[in-house]
Amino acid sequence: MAIWTISAAPDNDGWDHVITDEHGAETARAWDGNPLASDPPSASGSIACLRSGWVGGEGHPEDGVFTSSFETWAKAGAERFGERWPEVAARYERIWVWPHARHVLSDTQSIFTNVRDDGGPLAGAGVLLEPTALLTASMIEAAEDHLMRTADTLFDHVRTEAVIVSNAVVVEPADGAAVGPSGPAMRPAPAHAGVVPVELLRRLTRMALDAGKPVVLYGDNVEAQRATLAV
């Protein structure tokens, strides 16, 4: 049973997160910046994990809050992604994309469409899948339908490399970054604390492990999360 963790990157080298495997070995480094607008950090020796990017302001990506813009999901975002992502990906030996509801790859369908296109921008890239990060605040009441659709479609996919099992909290709209076309922002939270029912997260955990995918937990109180998820 592979339970990995994602924590703040310890080195001041531009990366935001480090992902370690069940033995504590570094597997990947992740960056929360916008690869469609700026250059990501240099290769670290492990897998590079980048967002699919967005069009518009920066928001507060360091806190998991991204700008919400219709342009991101429209032609402008798709075109910019198609131009920029292959250029960025070529800098790394291995690369994963980390989708989010406020990014170009924002939902199950957009992810599936891109990973099945072997000649598209994501050619050769893996997916670090965080199902709850694809939810918007308006989806919480129907979270089971949305999360199970993601699991059924993508957990078994050969390009899905690992699954982050996280909860989420709704961000109070204190500034413009927290509101947008998709409503209030959602911020990731440890599995045992948030608005998504833990029963759903347990199901996601079992489904991911049954599909042979490592489950990744945020590095805050991992033991409490494992107890909550029964792993």
Contacts of 33 (CB under 8 A, 6+ apart): 16, 40, 51, 61
Over residues 109-123, the pLDDT tens digits come to 999 999 988 888 999
CATH number at residue 105: 3.20.20
Pairing between β-strand 160-164 and β-strand 47-50 as defined by DSSP bridges: unpaired
Q: Which of 101, 93, 100, 96 is nearest to 29 (CA)?
A: 96
- What tens-digit pLDDT sequence spans the chain (231 residues)? 899 999 999 877 899 999 999 999 999 999 999 999 999 999 888 999 999 999 876 655 655 567 777 788 789 999 999 999 999 999 999 999 999 999 999 999 999 999 988 888 999 999 999 999 999 988 999 999 999 999 999 999 999 999 999 999 988 665 555 556 667 788 899 999 999 999 999 999 999 999 999 999 999 899 999 999 999
Over residues 172-181, the pLDDT tens digits come to 665 555 556 6
Structural domains counted in the chain = 1
Range of the domain at 28: 3-229
pTM of the predicted model, to two decimals?
0.93
Question: Residue with structure tokens 């929360």?
Answer: 32
